[in-house]
Structure 1
């Protein structure tokens, strides 16, 4: 799956309470969650994420992205905001698993993430793991998503994937 979008860049240790603040966890509606995604982050106050993200934009984080609680609300909020893929140096394991479960592709590129800036335009191929920074010309290589994970993402999540197999 090939994707192109503008980068929303975040730093290290972005936890699930920053991605979707706990005060909004009384909703399970993905669009409600998306409306508050990254609301407590102070990294882009000039153009807050939830009110400025465009379908297809790409979220990029540093080390340990998605640390914190095990709730699925965080990747659901990101996906419902229109973000088709998240790239980071590395992910907290439970966030990584939750991303797969809801069909949100996650790619790890280690220290190369430092070469991606807020506002850059990326082209990402989740099948091959190739990430092209169309702004700088840099090319990065993530571990490609395994075939079954790509199938889960195409199905829109694990539940939909299982329904199609049943």
Structure 2
């Protein structure tokens, strides 16, 4: 987990999990199909404008509401490589890391970055570079074990890989 690079889409404060993925779609089992419904209640064009690697910028309390893991998963499956927000709801924050979606609390960056700007997030350096404006922002660096877990696709994938390695040794 070194860098994420892409254009950004931007939303405001208190985007809840029911907006990220409306409950009426939760019975869909196919991840790609489910991802086509991400954010559709506030942005019907979200799915069409996201390219793999793009970033989502949000205000305060992103991911509030229910504890459904579907919310960060559909963002990841939509192609979002990283979510930058002023703040996250605690359960969304944990669920995002558990499924391997990089998330960053960076209030100044979240306030100043505009929709459509191109960003590069350097997770090792702890910097968000706005390639459109030339401005850079500081962010907290994930500890190595979290970077590794996100790289492997989340908590379950990381644990499964470690178990496989242990079994191979025996």
Q: TM-score range by the shorter chain?
A: over 0.9
- Whole-angstrom distance in 2 between the partners of 1:63 and 1:147: 26
Larger radius of gyration: 2
Q: Partner of 1:75 in structure 2?
A: 72
* Contact 1:107–1:129 (Cα < 8 Å) also in 2: no
Alignment TM-score, normalising by the size of structure 1: 0.94
- Whole-angstrom distance in 1 between the partners of 2:24 and 2:142: 33
- Whole-angstrom distance in 2 between the partners of 1:163 and 1:107: 25
Taking structure 1 as reference, are residues 97 and 28 closer, same or farther at Cα in structure 2, changes over 3 Å only? farther
Alignment TM-score, normalising by the size of structure 2: 0.91
Q: Partner of 2:33 in structure 1?
A: 32
Aligned partner of residue 129 in structure 2, secondary structure: strand
Query: In angstroms, what is the RMSD of aligned CA positions?
Result: 1.1
Structure 1 runs of 4+ with >6 Å offset? none
Aligned partner of residue 140 in structure 1, secondary structure: strand
Measured after TM superposition, the shift of residue 51 of structure 1 is 1.9
Segments of structure 2 that go 5 or more residues without pairing to the other structure are: 164-170
Stretch of structure 1 that moved more, 62-71 or 127-136? 127-136
* Contact 1:18–1:40 (Cα < 8 Å) also in 2: yes
| Equivalent pairs, count | 162
Segments of structure 1 that go 5 or more residues without pairing to the other structure are: none
Aligned partner of residue 114 in structure 2, secondary structure: coil
Listed as ranges, the matches of 1:76-155 within 5 Å are 76-155=73-152
